Amino acid sequence: MLVYTIRRILQTIPVLIGVSLVVFFMMHLIPGDPAQIIAGEQANEEQVEQMRERLGLNDPYYVQYGNFITNAVQGDFGNSIRSGRSVSGEISSRIWVTVELAFYSTILSIFLGLIAGIVSATRRNSISDMFIMIFALFGLSMPNFWLGLMLIQYISLNFEAIPVSGWGTPQHILLPVITLGTAGAAIIARMTRSSMLEIINQDYIRTARAKGVKERLVIYKHALRNALIPVVTVVGLQFGALLGGAVLTETVFAINGLGRLVVDAINARDFPIVQGTVLVLSLLFVLVNFLVDISYRFLNKRVELD
């Protein structure tokens, strides 16, 4: 386990370097000059040039990137071009909102997806199976921002107890979590159904039934546990995707999380904010996938962590 952990940590380094390179050069390819934005539309060329010099934008790209990486390794992502605050402070003030949103959405996805997948698999080709798969397909095809707008239109505006925007109370959490968790529930339901159908046709399941084991124990103790490995993989990927996919949901519901921070930073050409936020989200994504890999060992003792 220790060797595996060290190897995974070492594998994380080139991943994060690659992410930082892509984000750095993509931000510099976006049209617009952050120095001009900060100096204002009325600023003359000399004032803009002074601003560029102060921000270090006149340095060669490799110097700018080298400075960013050197500081990032020390936990310093620089200061926001727009607000002047430290990027670490901006991220730390909003990261838990996004993590909470992704966590609650993942819990909802697991709860709905597992129940729907198990019911669909145990009642294969029935009417309930057909309806569950239709709704799963609908959940996969439906854009999150559209669902969010529909929930605001038909629920929030008709029930004053459910706010349109904000974060902090169960009432604020309800609609954003439903919006973000629906697609994940659909994916988990389809994966659970597929995995369960493969497992329940195995010889040891037929043997358990032949021994007179109750059907509920066969499904939940023998079949489900062995069917969970691919499902857990999907859950881990979904949680990581929700961290990044919260951008539109946070924008629709005016939630001050990392997603909205990135959108505002891109509009303002705030390079340090975008680079720092994407690196933090990438690190969280890698960490979640590492925990998923570790969980395989607990679900099935025969799995070797190579």
- Write the burial class of residue 84 (CB in 10 Å: 0-12 exposed, 13-18 middle, 19+ buried): exposed
Euclidean distance between CA atoms 186 and 241, whole angstroms: 14
Is residue 83 within 8 Å of 90, Cβ to Cβ?
yes
What pLDDT does residue 214 have?
Answer: 79
One digit per residue, pLDDT tens: the chain, 306 residues? 667 677 777 777 888 788 888 877 877 777 666 777 677 667 777 777 787 777 777 778 888 888 878 888 777 777 787 777 888 888 888 888 888 888 898 899 889 988 888 888 888 888 988 888 888 888 888 887 788 888 888 887 777 778 777 787 788 888 888 888 888 888 888 888 888 888 887 777 777 777 777 777 777 777 777 777 778 878 877 777 777 667 778 888 888 888 888 888 877 777 788 888 888 888 888 887 777 777 766 665 555 555
Tokens 């199976």 belong to 129
Cα dihedral sign for 135, 138, 142, 147?
negative
What pLDDT does residue 137 have?
Answer: 85
Euclidean distance between CA atoms 279 and 57, whole angstroms: 21
Which domains are delineated in the chain? 2-92 (no CATH), 95-256 (1.10.3720.10)
pTM score of the predicted model = 0.78
